Amino acid sequence: MKQPLVDPLDRDSNPELQEMVDFYNETLGFTPNSLFTMMRRPRIAEAFLEMNQAVMENKGRVTSALKRMIAYLSSMTTGCRYCEAHAIRAAERYGAEQEKMDNIWEYKTHEVFSDAERAAFDLAIAASQVPNAVDDTVSENMRKHWDEGEIVEIMGVIALFGYLNRWNDSMGTQLEKAAADSAEKLIAKKGDWNIGKHTY
């Protein structure tokens, strides 16, 4: 794309942004350009922030780091480079083990992953495909390792990033330098990373 579909608002244009700025400065170290685009309709941005906070709230076994790795796999499956970079950066910031991040695409066989994590990652990839690929095998494996509340948490992450993947890939949201640097450090060494449409 030659330019984003919609330009983000100026970062200093709206005092209502402060709660969002504070939240994302904690999670990512910066406020994403996507939020400044959503703020053209403040209720959308506010509803998104509430959903994000609810989904990413840590309730126990579905840790903050695991949620971000699920988000990364979901975004990689859909092909949204913007969200891949954000998710892998957040995974690192929330304490994902380096060995797990280095071997996430070998999760089915690599010894660093538990069977419960494998089930969650299988769900993330199956649920992020179009058409949807969640079947009885994926579902039964999830129920074997996670309770219903935990499954709702995991699906919340996948669904949240489904929204973000469509938003940012369609908008052509410009990737922030900090997120691009994280992707270069954490994804590019595998040889499968480029910013794609998210640079101008």
pLDDT, tens only, 104-129: 999 999 999 999 999 999 999 999 99
Q: Are the CB atoms for 124 and 73 separated by under 8 Å?
A: yes
Residue 87 has φ and ψ, to the nearest 5°, of -65, -40
Q: What's the rounded Cα separation, in Å, for the pair 164 and 72?
A: 12
Q: Break the chain into its structural domains and give their ranges.
A: 15-190
CATH of region 15-190: 1.20.1290.10
pLDDT at 114: 98
pLDDT at 101: 93
Give the CA radius of gyration of the chain.
16
pLDDT at 7: 93
- Interhelix angle 81-93/64-78, rounded to 10 degrees, is 160
What pTM was computed for the model?
0.94
User: Mean pLDDT of successive 10-residue segments in the chain (200 residues)?
Assistant: 92 74 85 92 92 93 97 96 96 95 94 98 98 98 98 98 98 96 86 87
Q: What's the rounded Cα separation, in Å, for the pair 114 and 185?
A: 25
pLDDT at 139: 98
Q: Are the CB atoms for 73 and 125 separated by under 8 Å?
A: yes
Burial of 150 (0-12, 13-18, 19+ CB in 10 A): middle
Q: How many other C-beta atoms lie within 10 A of the C-beta of residue 60?
A: 9
pLDDT at 170: 98
